[in-house]
Chain A
Amino acid sequence: MYPREFDYVAPASLDEALDALAANPGAKVMSGGMSLLPLMKMRLFSPEMVVDIGRIPGLDDITDQEDHIAIGALVRHHQTATSALVAEHAAALAEAAAYTGDNQVRRRGTTCGSLAHADIAADQPAGALAAGATMVAASKNGKREIAAADFFVDTLTSALEPDEILVGIRIPKTGGGSAYDKLGRRGGHSDYAVAGAAAWVRKSNGTVEDARIALTGVGTKPMLAAGSMEAFIGSDGSAAAIAAAADRATEGVTVLEDLYGSEAYKAHLARVFVARALEQALARA
């Protein structure tokens, strides 16, 4: 629990932070520190510099932006979990935030930090995927937008470049309903996901017009369940349609075994939680 020596800067503005990153290729961004600091203390990761973005003003709000809502880089899990805006437009993300860590972690850790960390068993990446979120990354060269579906690249690897900061995410106001459900490592919703699924569904005239279904804890990264989405979009959203979508939950997914589940069990749970998330999302749609 004693990290190697590192430099620490806490810039007062985004520009200063981006300068620091550009000037120090070995630097790493920290917001709440809930994921980065344990890795450093275990000496599994030893950045030369930590750029603490916690004092940059203007990044700690959830705001209503006409056609989307914006969640800033310093918005804590607790804010995401209890925001009326998030509940209305991305209930799955709100639930995922509510199931993240414990109360202390939720008051300190940030939604964007969790997304950038890209843990394979984290909750909020699934919520962001189902919400169809857009990630906004900034560097000295300007800002760029990354679709959630392109953001999670691999285990603990996002599409962010070393000189980029995830300054916020945008969630489109697309109607419909969404939900997230999981089995935690300590049972129920407690702890990281053994497996979990988030779903967003929009129905029109008895037909599922659009849907996004995402998995966490199952494969090598948080990801969309393409097979389930294909099966569900255009269906009538009936119990049979849910079952058919759930059946294809791990289609094309490399399911990873860990201490909490065999491949067969995790694949099974993916089906269970796709079904449960779809049922709940439909009830809200």
Chain B
Amino acid sequence: MSTTTSALGGVIRRKEDPALIRGRGRYVDDIKRTGELAAAFVRSPFANARINSIDVSAATAMAGVHAVYTIDDVRHLGPLIAQVPVGKLRPLLADGAVKHVGEAVAMVVADNRYIAQDAVDAIFVDYEPLEAVVDLKDAASDRVKVHDDLDSNVLLAWVGHEWWADVIAVEDPRPKIEEAKQRDDAVIVELEMVNQRLIPVAIEPRSVVASWNEGYERFEVYSSSQIPHALGGAIAKTFGLASNAVHVRAPEVGGGFGCKLNVYPDEILVCFASMRLHRPVRFTETRRESAVSTIQGRGWVATATLTGTPDGRILGYELRALTDMGAYSQNFTVAIPLLGLWVSAGQYDIPAYFEAKCVVTNTQTTDAYRGAGRPEALYYIERMIDAYAREIGMDPAEVRRKNYWKNDQFPAVNNTGLAIDSGDYETNLDKLLEMADYEGLKRMQAEARAEGRYIGIGLSTYLEICGFGPSVLSEIGFGWNNYGLPSSFSGSGLVRVNPDGSATVIIGTGPSGQGHETTWAQIASSVLGITTDKIRVSHGDTAESPMGVGTFGSRSAAVDGTATYEAAVKVRDKAAEIAAHLMEAAPEDIRFADGGAHVVGTPGRVVTWEEIADVAYRPHRGPDGLDAGLEAHAVFSPGNATWPFGSHIAVVEVDPETGNVEFLRYIGIDDCGNVINPMIVDGQVHGGIAQGVGQALFEEAIYDDAGNLLSGSLIDYPIPTAGDLPSFELGRTVTPTDVNPMGVKGIGEAGTIGSAQTIVNAVVDALAPLGVKHIDMPLRPRKVWQAIQDARG
């Protein structure tokens, strides 16, 4: 039994684009419900304050206002549920105190958003401001405590060798590292570096409309969510309903990047209001509101220490980080640094110690943002490799090569006790150096330096862990256990061949720009031999689809894609029996291609899918004992995560007069295992690098000491546009994984994980002749210029 796999690895234009490009896609705010009301929120102007009173009387009396709710109305629903409930859980509305600017204090429901906003302006809240704590070191000292009922602002510390000590035994690397430091020839490099806090800025802000259907005793919810099933579970759990009493649909989702991998108070509150008011209730964030009503990402301050020999052998790497949780713990908040821990030693076979303290501050909650912990971890180690290479005067490519895991070591058990599935780092690096003409670049740089120009070559390699995930991780919170859906992070797919020979693929996950409709059609097509134009992919509907997990952590293709692949194989095997019966051949001799089945060696005689379906739906025409129907469902639980990797080079020129950084080239070689659609993979890398450029050069959630977000609008939070980006030169190596049958790893976050440090390495390299050793991101011209001034004394 075999089949065509021609559709895997082929460029197929995105099936979703005709609708999206012409503005015909349907986003939540495009879906209007009869009689719907609009919600708006009173948000705190203070980062830390007691609430003495809330006067809603004027707002309640306004024409068109249906209700104003405060915590007294919803306290019985409890706080927001988190999967890793360490720290202070977020109350649905402020409960006697506010702990960050933008915290929702009261909810207005009105005929429309304009009236709701007027009513918001008419609500008087008597705040008693308290001292806020924003700086991570200050917060970690417990000088000012964010929450009275927590023992400390430091919630926990993730430590590399003991993150799951009960289950995974790993040797403490510190004695070995200390020993290395005592060597006479030890080279020790240390840097304190900030990986700044970012605002996700999905182009479509979050939007939700909920309706309690009294007749069917069911919630009908549309939400711009990466995790429709999880949201349904959270709503069900909150209201004491069965999970099938909540129908969630996530239609088109205009970007997520992790910020829609969360359940938000507004999603629960519109359900509550709908139940109370017997009307659908909608909430759509405004752009500015989104900066304070949606999670933020990153926010690490860390000291990294690298110990090595003068000839480039790394003997120890230590990272001690303070990581900013914000005020409340939401879905995975405290688990995000753990993702960084797993890849803290990058591609290197080195003794590595990792420690991340999770610290609460009077700021918006942090959680997963594209890369989630991994860009931070890779930033640190890759900056340190560069600093070390510079210190010992060795080419940074050669230092990396010398310390890589070697091909015969895979699966390689790293410093955290996890096994890296597969890798071929040297081949990947060599391809990058060749494509970039690394030696030529170095010559060009030398010539430019002689002319007084500041050109820098930045190199970085990265290791990623993704494709979540192994069911065992649900024991430590990586699952939807607390939403009453203990399915771990299995993938799910349903494949149905319809009576007319078309096919429908229904997946429990949904895209937020990743092109699932195309990729999943290719997966099914590769197995069934049905062309992709006859395959429709349906997603994001909890009533229609089998239980699904969501799109995040670069997991969809590797996990849900695999489930779909396996479901398609089941359908194909059944179809082969039917075709064999019709053609009086053996099932193992049946091949599928070009919209039908034929017997191996005789491609001229074809049984079409319509003919096969006809038999499948009228089983008396088929072989004895044939079950009716032509569909199958599969659930896939991977045995391991997948571990993509890659290498990037940025070439920049710095204007020493202004500090402006200009890209000359950007080259990336990524390895995500087998590739389903090269164009979509490249597109993911493009977007990923763009976000890395944003972090490296522009973006920063800037809070002042009082906890005010100074960069809450796009005027002060610049995100890169196409015009700010270089033309990416991309290539790939292919090192399949054996974790899933398609050999695919994941590519959604790779570009982001690999790029920021590449760019910083390039800028620091450009300024190395001046003695600049490090500049903290974002490398806005003012900082680059200041670094030049400081270096010149």
Contact = CB atoms under 8 A, between A and B. Distances in A.
Given A1-B288, A269-B658, A187 B697 contact: yes
B62 to A, nearest CB: 12
A187 B113 contact: no
B731 interface: no
Contact of B724 (A41, A42, A188, A272): A188
B379 to A, nearest CB: 20
A192 B715 CA distance: 9
A190 B660 contact: no
B117 interface: yes
B785 A190 contact: no
B141 interface: no
Contact of B288 (A42, A187, A188): A42
A259 B716 contact: yes
Contacts of A102: 721, 723
A209 interface: no
A187 B723 contact: no
Given A1-B286, A186-B718, A186-B724, A272 B114 contact: no
B684 to A, nearest CB: 23
Interface in A147-203: 183, 185-188, 190-192, 194
B718 A185 contact: yes
Contacts of B716: 259
B698 A272 contact: no
A194 B784 CA distance: 14
Interface in B752-785: 780-782, 785
B301 interface: no
A234 interface: no
A19 to B, nearest CB: 28
Interface string A38-73: 000111000000000000000000000000000000
Contact of B785 (A2, A191, A259, A265): A265
B786 interface: yes
Contact of B721 (A5, A190, A194): A190
Nearest to B717: A259
B720 interface: yes
A268 interface: yes
B241 interface: no
Nearest to A121: B715
Nearest to A190: B724
A204 interface: no
Residue among A1, A43, A185 with the highest chain B CB neighbour number at 10 A? A1
B710 interface: yes
Given A186-B720, A187-B724, A260 B782 contact: yes
Contact of B781 (A2, A3, A4, A183): A183
A191 B662 contact: no
Given A186-B698, A190-B723, A265 B718 contact: no
A41 B117 CA distance: 11
B450 to A, nearest CB: 22
A2 B658 contact: no
A2 B117 contact: yes
A11 interface: no
Contacts of A4: 118
Contacts of B121: 43
Given A259-B710, A259-B711, A183 B287 contact: no
A261 interface: yes
A272 B286 contact: no
Nearest to A262: B782
B624 interface: no
Contacts of A272: 657-658
A261 B780 CA distance: 9
Contact of A188 (B660, B715, B785): B660
Given A262-B782, A265-B785, A268-B785, A191 B117 contact: no
Contacts of A41: 286
Nearest to B121: A43
B51 interface: no
Contacts of B117: 2, 43
Contacts of B114: 2-3, 5
Nearest to A41: B286
A265 B661 CA distance: 16
Residue in A5, A41, A42, A186 whose Cβ sees the most chain B Cβ within 10 Å: A186
A2 B711 contact: no
B702 interface: yes
Interface in B709-736: 710-711, 713, 715-716, 718, 720-721, 723-724
B658 A183 contact: yes
Contacts of A265: 782, 785-786
B718 A191 contact: yes
Nearest to B718: A186
A274 to B, nearest CB: 12
A261 B782 contact: yes
Interface in A65-110: 102
Nearest to A266: B782
Given A1-B286, A259-B711, A265-B782, A183 B660 contact: yes
Nearest to B116: A2
A108 to B, nearest CB: 17
A255 B40 CA distance: 39
A259 B288 CA distance: 18
A186 B722 CA distance: 12
Contacts of A188: 660, 662, 724
A131 B114 CA distance: 43
A142 B781 CA distance: 47
A260 B720 CA distance: 16
Q: Which of B117, B702, B782 has the most chain A CB within a 10 Å cutoff?
A: B782
Nearest to B662: A188
Nearest to A258: B716
Interface string A222-263: 000000000000000000000000000000000000011110
A1 B720 CA distance: 22
A42 B713 CA distance: 10
Contacts of B698: 185-187
A259 B714 CA distance: 13
B661 A187 contact: yes
Given A187-B698, A190-B721, A265-B786, 12 more contacts: A1-B289, A2-B117, A43-B117, A183-B658, A186-B720, A186-B724, A187-B781, A188-B660, A192-B715, A194-B781, A265-B782, A265-B785
8 contacts: A1-B289, A2-B113, A186-B724, A187-B698, A187-B724, A190-B724, A259-B710, A269-B658
Task: List the 6 closest pairs (A to B, CB-CB), nearest first.
Answer: A1-B286, A2-B117, A186-B718, A261-B782, A265-B782, A272-B657
Interface of B: 40, 113-114, 117-118, 121, 286-289, 657-658, 660-662, 697-698, 702, 710-711, 713, 715-716, 718, 720-721, 723-724, 780-782, 785-786
Interface of A: 1-5, 41-43, 102, 183, 185-188, 190-192, 194, 259-262, 265, 268-269, 272
